Amino acid sequence: MTSSAVLRLGTRNSPLARWQSGWVASQLCERGVDVELIPITTRGDVVSGALGSVGGQGLFTKKIQQALLDRQVDLAVHSLKDLPTDEVPGLALAAVPPRAGMLDAYVSNQWDNLDQLPDGSIVGTGSLRRRTQLLRLRPDLEIRDIRGNVDTRLGKLDGGEFDAILLAEAGLVRLGLEARITQRLSPEIMLPAVGQGALGLETRADDAGVRELLAPLDHVATRAAVTAERQMLAALRGGCLAPVGAWGRVVDGVLSLDGVVLNRDGQERVFASHTAPLEEAVDLGQRVADNLLSQGAADLISSLRSSTSNRDSAEPSQE
């Protein structure tokens, strides 16, 4: 790509994906780079059933990645929690911008916080990770699957189908809907998904020109945190269907990582936490995974897969 060429940015066409890609485009435009957004419909955008029933891995990313490999686009912007941990030959994660809010958000029109929800309340979520952690706290609640973008899910809440729903904080904030957040769920209540709140800017590995353009958008602390999280998930071989939570963060120059794995009803749980220098992010992720595995995480993940039904969903996009 020459300096005078227009950089073609592949993006899903949902409101949140368009916002995320638009933000990246604006950052590049401020640096004198012309950007054209290329909408791409992924399999995850068109499936009508639960994501888990059609295979959760890469539903929101594979088609965009193929467009990169086919040189139809020069750059892809992913919600990083949608991006599988398996490397794709010929592609590279060129930049990870500063992370937005990574917490899960509780949204309700009647009850000010999770503790106030009456017994038997109906809570909507499309995530096994959220479902199992919520059931561990409140086994009395009725958890129902919910699909669709942010506006669709909020509409179902407003229409009375649910007493509360759980969404990603980052998606609500990015769409200007922060006022809908009733309670931010702290990591002590619910560990977020791997990569939640972070963006991944992917290019062809041999496209040195685009990688150089993206280098200023890479945030060292965020990349270290999500690298540790993604290595933990890869070592667990959990994929999108496993109730795996992770929280990587840098405090006073030290990288910390918490990880959790639960069974279907949330009553069995293993947890691990370690620290390391930023440059040892991969080793940190592996160490946390090894600790979880030593406590029986593999058995929890295996038992979940053997009992997964079509009503179960993969970890949804930030929407």
The set of catalytic residues is 82
38 vs 294: CA distance, rounded Å: 45
210 vs 3: CA distance, rounded Å: 10
What is the DSSP annotation of 167-185?
EEHHHHHHTT-GGG-SEEE
Maximum distance among all alpha carbons in the chain?
61
Q: Which one-letter DSSP state was computed for residue 214?
A: H
Question: What is the token pair recorded at 138?
Answer: 């409140």
Amino acid (1-letter code) at residue 57: Q
* Cβ-based neighbours of 254, under 8 Å, separated by 6 or more: 275, 276, 277
C-alpha count within 13 angstroms, C-beta hemisphere, residue 215: 7
203 vs 72: CA distance, rounded Å: 12
Question: What is the token pair recorded at 272?
Answer: 């691990």
The label of the residue with tokens 């686009």 reads 73
State residue 94 phi and psi, 5-degree precision. Answer: -80, -30
In 5-34, which positions are buried (b, 16+ CB within 10 angstroms) versus exposed (e)? Answer: eebbbbbbebebbbebbbebbebbeeeebe
